[in-house]
Chains A and B, each alone.
Chain A
Amino acid sequence: MSVVLQTEPFEPGALLTAFAAGRAETGAVASFTGLARAEQGRAVALELEAWPGFTDIEIARIGETAAARWGLQDWLVVHRTGPIAPGEAIVFVATAASHRREAFEACDHLMDYLKSRAPFWKKEHGPDGARWIEPTDRDRTDAERWETT
């Protein structure tokens, strides 16, 4: 059950191997890795800004909520901050549960939350300057899928 914000690149395979190790009672581990796109040359680099002491606590709060909702045994969010080159991993999410449905859904939910509601600000640097990326309508409706009445 942890959140890691880091400026250094990470290797998703190594994170998944470590997360899945030593789990005699876990039937399912789901994971997602998000990569920075080059956008056909329009994106030379992405820059992710976070607010340490706020961003990590907000992600931990949503992680705890997801853990309770889907009965997770464990979850992990690793998120890059600072400059990120195309092809590098930005985000890694893993969930562990007794059965696959819970692991899949919780992982999907955590990613939808990270895309549009976690306190990050994303700037795309291209050949013609920089622009701030804000959540798309699709990102917002994806996040709304999980709201319970």
Chain B
Amino acid sequence: MARVLLFGRLADVAGWRERMIEADSLSALRVALARGDGVLGEALAGPGVQAAIDKTIVRGDAALTPASEVAFLPPMSGG
């Protein structure tokens, strides 16, 4: 189980911003999200989308615990 957060256009694509999802790794979480919503799955795999676990950007796969918070971050733009 992980708390999943979506930001920017990803939240618009999914129609939600925060959800609890059963997964014991980041890759399993991506599969679960894509199975539930193919368009979101594609958006998560899109260019420039980063994942953060417990507020740290991760590359590749990583294990999740029930207390993990996973955020998907589309390309960033401030100012």
Please tell me if the beta carbons of A116 and B77 are within 8 angstroms of each other in the complex.
Answer: yes
Chain B binding surface, main DSSP class: loop
Please tell me if the beta carbons of A49 and B7 are within 8 angstroms of each other in the complex.
Answer: yes
Please tell me if the beta carbons of A121 and B76 are within 8 angstroms of each other in the complex.
Answer: yes
Please give me the residue from chain A that is nearest to B74 by CB atom: A121
Q: Once the chains are docked, how many angstroms separate the CA of A133 from the CA of B48?
A: 13
Please tell me if the beta carbons of A117 and B76 are within 8 angstroms of each other in the complex.
Answer: yes
How many A residues touch B, CB cutoff 8 Å? Answer: 26
Q: Once the chains are docked, how many angstroms separate the CA of A79 from the CA of B16?
A: 25
Interface residues on B, range: 10 to 19
Please tell me if the beta carbons of B48 and A91 are within 8 angstroms of each other in the complex.
Answer: no
Q: Once the chains are docked, how many angstroms separate the CA of A51 from the CA of B48?
A: 17
The answer to whether residues A118 and B55 also contact, given A51-B7, A132-B8 and a CB cut-off of 8 A, is: no
Instruction: Give B residues with C-beta under 8 Å from A.
Output: 5, 7-9, 12, 48, 52, 55, 71, 73-79
The 4 closest A-B pairs by CB, nearest first: A121-B8, A120-B78, A132-B9, A114-B78
